Amino acid sequence: MRYNKLGKTGYEVGVMGIGGIPIQRVGQEAAAEVIATALEYGVNFLDTARGYTDSEEKFGLALQGVRERFVLATKTPSRDGEGARRDLETSLRMLRTDYIDLYQLHNVSTKDDLERILAPGGALEAVLKAQEEGLVRHIGVTGHNDKVLLEAVETGLFATVQAPVNAVERQFIPVLQAAKERNMGTIAMKPLAGGSFMHPQLALRQLLAEPLLDVIIPGVDSAEQMRQNAELAANWRPLNEEERPLLEQEVAELGRGFCRRCEYCLPCPQGIKIPQVFILEGYATRYNLAEWAVGRYAAMDKDASDCAECGICESRCPYSLPIRDMLKRAHGHLRQ
């Protein structure tokens, strides 16, 4: 395993980590096998979140006796200090640990989100206090909007940044560059674009060559997936002349109908959170988390069926996506 320093945290992390979303769909035994295999191959960075239903609980049990061998990261979606503190205490309990190595403010994707977490009484204030108490070692930020995430990086208040980076989502490269200039750790989530690639190993190998990234965290739900990812990182080689066109072709095809969550389509006159609809569709169709995604979709104030087909979103989309047709498709996957 190749190791990188995770920015100013000082942690040495394997370039291949563990993403905690898919573990929701399997049992405790599978979670234990993932952790055991990770240890066997030198994988030592684990990322989960309070919002990933029972992911923290499963990993917490699996980490008993080996917790100190991992750099453990989790997240809070709360924007206010009280909620962030409550989430942290729950995460500590679920993960069965006395501290979190990297506690991240989750999905800070709008200016309002950023302003709220930075405001007096906001989430960052509470997490800084927890850091003083020794409950949190380092503080990071994650998001799906490159412009807002760049603003967060430029505050200089965070030790790490986590962004969706993969062969089709390259808009976050300036965010990574800005982070590196500030000695921040860089973490690539969604390295397989939510399971979109037909040649996933090619997509991972491309990212393993990216010097701006410290660790990539593909989601895993089995020991076999963990083994394949770890061996890929340990035996990494650049794409050759035959492989590169295969990945480029996939990128071109995905680009015709792949939402990059830039949010330029918003605000929708009908109040539909368009990128969120597509995120939930991905969980349902690619992550095999249909029940969870359908429940989240049902809880939305406005869903895709509220689309008036005005086309304003499509006129704003920098990728010329057929958003109206994509919303219809998503609704078909997510309606109860």
pLDDT of residue 193: 84
Sign of the torsion formed by the C-alpha atoms of 133, 139, 143 and 145: positive
Judged by DSSP in three states, 51 sits in coil
Q: Which amino acid is at 280?
A: L
Q: Which helix (H) or strand (E) holds 300?
A: none
In a domain, 296, yes or no: yes
In which residue ranges of the chain is pLDDT below 70? none
pLDDT of residue 194: 74
Distance separating alpha carbons of residues 286 and 97, to the nearest angstrom: 31
- Whether residues 296 and 235 share a domain: the answer is no
- Whether residues 70 and 216 share a domain: the answer is yes
Closest among 140, 143, 166 to 262, alpha carbons compared = 143
- Whether residues 22 and 125 share a domain: the answer is yes
Query: How many folded domains does the chain comprise?
Result: 2
Phi-psi region of 81 (alpha: psi -120 to 50; beta: other; left: phi over 0): alpha
For residue 323, the enclosing domain spans 274-334
Distance separating alpha carbons of residues 95 and 48, to the nearest angstrom: 10
pLDDT of residue 255: 75
In a domain, 263, yes or no: no
In a domain, 248, yes or no: no
Checking DSSP bridges between strand 185-189 and strand 45-47, what pairing results, if any? unpaired
Q: What is the pTM of this model?
A: 0.85
CATH (domain of 95): 3.20.20.100
pLDDT of residue 279: 87
Q: How many CB atoms lie within 10 A of CB 318?
A: 10
Among residues 241, 263, 282, the one where a domain terminates is: 241
In a domain, 246, yes or no: no
Checking DSSP bridges between strand 185-189 and strand 160-164, what pairing results, if any? parallel
Among residues 241, 259, 294, the one where a domain terminates is: 241
In a domain, 283, yes or no: yes
- Whether residues 218 and 309 share a domain: the answer is no
- Whether residues 134 and 235 share a domain: the answer is yes
Judged by DSSP in three states, 80 sits in strand
pLDDT of residue 274: 95
For residue 257, how far is the Cα from the chain centroid? 20
Give CA angle at 250 (282, 204), nearest 5°. 75
